[in-house]
Amino acid sequence: MEPQVIEGDGVRLRPYRDGDAADVAAACADPLIQRFLDGLPSPYTEAHARWWLTEGDPATWARGGAAYAVVDPGTDRLLGAVGLDRVVAPRDQAEIGYWVAPWARRRGVAAAATRALTAYAFAAGFARLELLTRPENTASQRVALAAGYRHEGVRRSAGRTATDRTATVGPATDGPATDGSSSDGGGRHDLIAWVRLADDPADPTPRLLPDLPAGGLTDGVVTLRPTGPDDVDVMYRLHTLPEVVANRVPPAPPSRADIARRCRLAESNWLIGAGADLLVVDTATGEVGGGLALRYDEPATGQAMLGASMLPEWRGRGLLTRGVRLLADWAFDVAGIARLWAGTRPENVSAQWVLEKAGFRPEGVQVGRLPGPDGVRVDSAVYGLLPEMISRPPAT
């Protein structure tokens, strides 16, 4: 590829200039960019930025990649960076990455720049572009989806976290990827792979599970909101209740680290369409009383599994049933799911009561479906729900 100016939707991609050094330095010192670009030195100075402009940038082009400053078309002010690196010429493949300066965020800069460079790369002969993000970097994942990239899977422990942040320089030491790896030691982390092929649609990638409306789902009494990193305490308490553990596979209590990871990756799992974790909240007080989980286990048939649990002090008030109805309405009307199912232990009468109050119908018992304690398998009572079956409380 040869450096040239590329026009995008509200952005311009151009080669770096000497005058960009101050803005590159200010942007790459930002805590968020420091967090997700492991190869950056800390503190990041203007001397590091000048090294990038004089050595790092030319080296990227020499490797067959590309390194572009993303600027405002009207003012030429630096907004961010986008580029290609890790080129595999025999496969016509490269990795695309980006970062956005703090003063330019929430304006669609990264998505516009990624779309523009993606189109240019395909026109130049590339057949496959990869975009790698950390699981917790959901802002980057949203950019990938907006630019038409599709979730391909998780590369386990593919990234390396730097421990010596003074060893390397440049805003994208091994390339411009938001979630690059470094070569100076440290722990390892997973990377989610997002991919676009030359013949893939350029439109944003459709999501299996859309976002909830701002503020979540509510009927005025309870509110459902997404689970997040700050919900570890209540989620740990909820999922270590004996009656909840009994329905886990396997039936063993999770560790606090397991729950912390679940909360940390909840938004990412939602974005890739694997499932939605939600909390049931008292609308008046904001107190969390329970949880709901939607697992899209059969997208091809439009079927998803629903799980529900409630803290003891919240039980018997009909609040979990309200939450199940809210989630079912959203699943059918917004997410386009055609059928919900749920399974409980046959002796779990309270859970069955909640499901039936919401409109689920018993479909039978699967004998020995689940692993139980001490190697004994246990039965599962299965319930199903279609949109027309949702049970509504009488009008008052």
Tens digit of each residue's pLDDT (9 = 90 or more) over 148-170: 999 999 999 998 876 544 333 34
The pLDDT tens digits for 321-355 are 999 999 999 999 999 999 999 999 999 899 999 99
pLDDT band at 248 (very low <50, low <70, confident <90, very high): confident
Encoded tokens for 57: 């940038």
Cis amide bond preceding 43, omega within 30: yes
CA distance 131 to 213: 28
For residue range 182-201, list pLDDT tens digits in order: 333 468 999 999 999 999 99
- Count other Cβ atoms within 10 Å, centred on residue 223: 22
Instruction: Point out the least confidently predicted range of 34-38, 149-153, 195-199, 282-286.
Output: 34-38
How confident is the model at residue 95, as a pLDDT? 97
**Beta pairing class for 339-344 and 303-310:** parallel
Secondary-structure percent of the chain, ordered helix, strand, coil, rounded to 5: 35, 30, 35
- Tokens for 364, please give them: 């039978």
Structural domain spans, the chain: 6-197, 217-389
Spatial neighbors of 148 by CB under 8 A, at least 6 apart, are 115, 118, 196, 200, 201, 202, 203, 204, 205
Choices 3.40.630.30, 2.60.40.1120, 3.40.50.720, 3.90.1150.10: CATH for 217-389: 3.40.630.30
- Give the pLDDT confidence score for residue 2 in this predicted structure: 81
Binned at pLDDT 50, 70 and 90, residue 394 comes out as: low
Which stretches of the chain are assigned E, i.e. beta strand?
A: 6-7, 12-14, 66-71, 78-88, 93-100, 128-133, 150-160, 188-197, 217-218, 222-226, 275-282, 288-298, 303-310, 339-344, 361-371, 377-385
Class level of CATH domain 6-197: alpha beta
- Is 62 a residue whose pLDDT tops 60? yes
φ, ψ for residue 371 (rounded to 5)?
A: -70, 135
Position 183 scores a pLDDT of 32
pTM as predicted = 0.89
pLDDT for the residue 162:
63
pLDDT at 168: 37
Give 179's pLDDT tier (boundaries 50, 70, 90): very low
The better pLDDT of the pair 26, 373 is held by 26
